Amino acid sequence: MTKDTSAPDLREHGRLKDGTPIHSDRRLWVQFLAFGDCHDLEALKTALAGFKRPATLYADLSDPWGVGLVWMDESPDFFTGAGREFLHSSPFADLTLKPELTMTGRTYAVGYENDLDEVLIKRPKGRILDPSLNWAVWYPVKRAKAFEALPDETKHEIMMDHGDMGKRFGKANLAHDIRLSCHGLDFNDNDFIIGVLSADLTAASSVVQAMRKSLQTMHHLDSLGPFFTGRVLAQWDAPV
């Protein structure tokens, strides 16, 4: 077998309806942060409104003094640059970070999408900032390493089974998901970040429950979670 010595192609790939390959170097980087010891929500809202970056602030269902923050940018440099500076100089600096709930990921294409800007930028951003989706469940997923040894046909069948369960909720407009790749981006070697967004917490919880019965969850995952569940307190739309 001849080894492939070409440089890896880091672009996202799709395909037009006529079969023409398309490519994109754009992607959305998304980060979730959780904090405790919040006693002044209005101060956080005022700071984020002045920051003028796309973001959503959540009230933590599991911590009466807890909040969650999701923000995004097309460059990961944002999180260690302007985003970091904002956290250091705003009321967030007085809160207690919960690093076990930090999640960072990037949008990705699977190869058949015919509008890469929609899939990689507009759709995930729109869902995170949709005012009608005021409940969210965010969690990381780690696949069993043996999954990659399966034949491509088997992997495709497993992923279709998993995806079809989520599509049922989406088609009924009960819940929508965000899927992010996070390979090498966290402490625990997780593979993906999932956000389940809904107008109703029952629906969001039901998505997680339904996924328990998917082939991937039953047979090919090492771990799920930890989970953050929260209700939207405020959202800010701006260019990424």
Mean pLDDT lowest among 46-60, 83-97, 150-164: 150-164
The region that residue 199 occupies, defined by phi over 0 for left and psi between -120 and 50 for alpha, beta otherwise, is alpha
Rounded to whole angstroms, how far apart are CA atoms 65 and 155? Answer: 42
pLDDT at 165: 73
pLDDT tens-place string over residues 146-205: 777 767 776 667 666 666 777 889 999 999 999 999 999 999 999 999 999 999 999 999
pLDDT at 7: 93
Given this model, what pLDDT does residue 143 score?
82
User: What does 167-205 look like in DSSP terms, one character per residue?
Assistant: HHHHHTTS-EEEEEE-TTSSTT---EEEEEEESSHHHHH
Please name each of the domains of the chain with its CATH number.
29-233 (3.30.70.1030)
- pLDDT above 90 (res 69): yes
In the numeric block, which tokens belong to residue 98?
């919960």
Length of the chain equals 240
- How many other C-beta atoms lie within 10 A of the C-beta of residue 110? 13
pLDDT given for residue 234 in this prediction: 98
What's the token pair of residue 103?
Answer: 């999640």
Which range is least confidently modeled, 69-83, 130-144, 156-170?
A: 156-170
Q: In whole angstroms, give the CA distance from residue 57 to residue 44.
A: 9
Q: What pLDDT shows up at residue 15?
A: 96
Judged against a pLDDT cut of 80, whether residue 21 lies above it is answered with yes
For residue 26, give both structure tokens. 């754009």
DSSP 79-135: HHTHHHHHHHHSGGGGSEE-GGG-EEEE----S--S-HHIIIIIHHHHHHT-TT--E
Q: In this structure, what are the phi and psi dihedrals at residue 137, rounded to the nearest 5 degrees?
A: -125, 120
Interatomic CA distance for residues 205 and 97, integer angstroms: 25
**Pairing state between β 96-97 and 29-36:** antiparallel
pTM comes to 0.92
Reported confidence tier of residue 225, pLDDT bands at 50, 70, 90 = confident
Q: Distance (Å, rounded) from C-alpha 215 to C-alpha 170?
A: 20
